[in-house]
Homo-oligomer: A and B are copies of this chain.
Amino acid sequence: MKLAANRYGKARVRLMKVTRHDGVHELREWTVRVLLEGDFDSAHLEGDNSRILPTDTMKNTVYSCAKESRAESMEEFAEELIAFLLRRNQQVSSVEVKIESVLWKRLTVDGEPHPDSFMRGSDEVQTVLTRRTKSDKHTSSGEQTSQSGLSNLVILKTARSGFEGYIKDELTTLRETSDRLFGTAVTADWIYSTETKSGFNELRERIREVMLKAFAKHDSKSVQQTLYAMAEAALRATPELVQMHMVMPNKHCLLVDLKPFGQENANEIFVPTEDPHGYIEATVTRG
């Protein structure tokens, strides 16, 4: 038998960081996963743990680094964690860090943003996945790849969406429509040019806004076409972007048949459904 590949680490390290500036608090909630690749064959084959950094220590590392970090973005914190772990662990050849952040919104009280009270936002998650492979044993530098992204951005448009002109065969029962609800939960991840070293939070915000605007304005002939329009808009508005990858399920809202009850349903009453759903995925690059 041969150990062809292996890695290990700690997942779901939950971190809440409160930063205080002159009485105004900031709140961030991140969930971190750290994965290491390296020279761990003897652990698998012989039960020799002498090259194993315990996953409990990785958890401690996340908290200790978070305390010292001045990183403004998940992208920068991921880099810091990776550099820290690579520098101290010669047996490790590559570190991957994934961070997910959830939304906390500042409460508005008497029309003013409150300095220290917050409300959870939607289930939308902001993500980053960064991986660096050491170029040789004695360095923490090496080749790095990174994706920023978001997931579970749930949106719905009630106008300008149809689906017509598709293939019909003996298994077709779907009816063509020029007016349907279009609901989806966007997952997107994107790659910046290697020159992009900062400003990640502003970039993320711009990309998100541009995609939402494209969704709202699009005359949709299919999920495919709208997905492409959103990706294209993000690339056009953001020179730092080199690639956008998106997955958009079609979360069907079915028109209820009220004819048996002598009623007409003019696109008014729908049943939202979970199963089954369409699945649309594409990658768009500058080209």
Which one of A74-82, A115-123, A143-151 is at the interface?
A115-123
- Determine whether A215 belongs to the interface, using a CB cutoff of 8 Å to chain B: yes
Surface stretch bound by B, among A11-19, A130-138, A196-204: A11-19
Identify the closest chain B residue to A34 (Cβ).
B279
Q: How many residues of A contact B (CB 8 A)?
A: 133
Q: Is A22 an interface residue (CB 8 A)?
A: no
Minimum CB distance partner of A63 in chain B: B256
With contacts A19-B268, A53-B167, A224-B6 taken as known, whether A1 is within 8 angstroms of B235 at the C-beta atoms is yes
User: Are A163 and B122 within 8 A (Cβ)?
Assistant: no
Instruction: Report the copy number of this chain in the oligomer.
Output: 4
Using CB atoms, name the residue of chain B closest to A68: B263
User: A265–B67 contact, CB under 8 A?
Assistant: yes
Q: A10-B276, A163-B54 are in contact. Are A67 and B269 (CB under 8 A)?
A: yes
- The contact of A172 among B57, B110, B213, by CB within 8 Å, is B57
CB contacts (< 8 Å) of A47 on chain B: these are: 220-222, 225
Distance, CA A271 to CA B274, complexed state (A): 13
Chain B residues with Cβ below 8 Å from A268 are: 17-19, 67
Question: Given A6-B281, A279-B10, is A121 in contact with B122 using a C-beta cutoff of 8 Å?
Answer: yes
